[in-house]
Amino acid sequence: MNIVAAAKVAVTGKTKSTAGKKYADIKAATQAGIVAGCAPFPEGVDFFGFYNGIDEKEAQRYADVEITHGRIAMLASLGFLVGEQVEGSAFLFDANITGPAIDHFQQVPGTFWGLLGAVIFTIEANRVQTAWQNPFEADKLFLLKDDYTPGDYNFDPLKLSAGKDDVWLNDMKLKEVNNGRVAMVAISGMVAQELVNGLNLIPADEVLEMGKAGALEAMEAQCTGATNEAACAKAFEAAERAAVFAANM
C-alpha cells in the first residue's frame, strides 16, 4: 500500500470502539485507522509517547481533540489576517479596533464577547450531546460514545458531502486534518511574531522582506505604541516600498 492510500485508510476513523483494546504505539493506532497519518510521516508522529500503550477510546478522544483544535486554528488564522486588513473600517465597531490582532480582544466591546460566548456555549453543548458519553453513566470521565466518529457532528448545511462516495469523503477528511495541523502551527507563529515585534503581520513581513532586519527595527521603533499602530505600519511599509522601487530605478 502506498503512502497516499495508507493515509486515506488512516483518516477514515473507526465508527465503533472496542472496549479494552490497546495500541502499542502511534504506528499501531495509525494502521488501525485511529490516527490520520500522511507523508512525510505516514506512521504518525508522537515525540512524547502519548500513544504508547494507549486505550482505543482514549486514542479516539485524541483524534477528536486534534480535529477540533485544527478547525479552531483555521478560523483563528483567517481571523487574524482578515481582522488586521479591515481594522479601522467604519462598519466594524465604529472603526475603534486597531493595531496587531493580539490587541483586538481588549478593544472589542464586552457585549460582543457575551453574544459570542452564548454562541460557543450552544455549539459546545450540542457537541457534548453528540459525541460524549454521560459522565454519570460511563466507566470514567471524558469518554466518547461507541458509535461516534471523531469530528463528525452531522454539520453540512451546504450539503457538500451529499451523494459522495467514501473515497471522496476520506480524501476531504485527510485534507481537513492536514490543513488543521498547518493552521495550528501557523496561528502559533502569528501570535509569537506579534508578541515579539508588536506590529501587524503583513506590513511587518513585507518590510522585513524588502529592508531586512534594520528596516523592521526602524518600523518597530516608529510605530509600536503609536496612536494608530496599523496606519503607521502601513504607511511605513508604503514608504519602504517606494524607497526600494526608487533604488532599483
Please give the annotated binding residues for chlorophyll a, written as ranges: 66, 69, 175, 179, 181, 193
**How far apart, in whole angstroms, are the C-alpha atoms of residue 119 and residue 97?**
22
Chain-centroid distance, C-alpha 205: 21
73, 187 Cβ separation under 8 angstroms: yes
144 is written with which cell numbers?
A: 466518547
Binding site as annotated, residues for chlorophyll b: 71, 141, 176
DSSP letter (8 states) at residue 132: B
Distance in angstroms (rounded) separating the CA atoms of residues 169 and 158:
15
Contact 176, 63 (CB under 8 A): no
Q: Which residues contribute to the annotated binding site?
A: 66, 69, 71, 141, 175-176, 179, 181, 193
In angstroms, the CA 202 to CA 232 distance is: 13
Please identify which residue in the block is written with the cell numbers 460557543. Answer: 120
